[in-house]
């Protein structure tokens, strides 16, 4: 299990930016962690690494944000307000599992049974006000 310690939001973004180099589309990242653990910071770095120039924000109320204009489209899902797999399916979540772009899921615990085996799981832990610990599951 990989263990990464990040000292601030910029370090989290730089870490995720590094993921982008080898992506070809169809990848799914499941980000596990409490509110404020830095999940959206990772999505910001991934988007920057793929060449997306716009703002990246958490889709807490809209469930999905789609970011295009970079090398690959990014589908950013926040399932915090989703009760379970059945509710996710009624919203069409399966269209993103996988997709032609890169799918990043916050609160993937809500749909674990829907995630394909190739999903990359990362656990984010709050160590201090600015420091985060990330473990590859």
pLDDT per residue as tens digits for the range 61-82: 899 999 999 999 999 999 999 9
CA atoms of 26 and 90, how far apart (whole Å) = 22
- Contact indicator for 23, 55 with CB cutoff of 8 Å: no
pLDDT at 6 over 80: yes
Between CA 106 and CA 100, with CA 4 as vertex, the angle to 5 degrees is 40
Domain boundaries, the chain: 3-136
CA atoms of 75 and 42, how far apart (whole Å) = 13
- DSSP symbols for 52-119: --S-----TTTSEEEE-SSSS-EEEEE-TT--SHHHHHHTTGGGGSS-SSEEEEESGGGGGGGS-TTP
Record: fold of 3-136: Rossmann fold (3.40.50)
- Which pLDDT belongs to residue 108? 97
pLDDT per residue as tens digits for the range 11-58: 999 999 998 999 999 999 999 999 989 999 999 999 999 999 999 999
**CA dihedral angle for residue 12, residue 128, residue 130, residue 56, rounded to 10 degrees:** 50
């Amino acid at each position: 299990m990989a263990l990464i310690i990040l000292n601030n939001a910029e370090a989290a973004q730089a870490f995720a930016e590094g993921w982008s180099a080898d992506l070809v589309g169809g990848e799914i990242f499941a980000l596990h962690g409490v509110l404020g653990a830095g999940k959206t910071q990772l999505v910001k770095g991934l988007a920057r690494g793929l060449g997306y120039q716009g703002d990246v924000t958490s889709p807490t109320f809209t469930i999905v944000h789609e970011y295009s204009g970079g090398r690959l489209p990014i589908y950013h899902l926040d399932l915090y307000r989703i009760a379970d797999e059945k509710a996710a399916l009624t919203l069409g979540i399966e269209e993103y599992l996988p997709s032609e772009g890169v799918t990043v899921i916050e609160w993937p615990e809500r749909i674990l049974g829907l995630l394909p085996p190739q999903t990359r799981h990362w656990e984010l832990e709050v160590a201090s006000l600015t420091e985060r610990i990330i473990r590859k599951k």
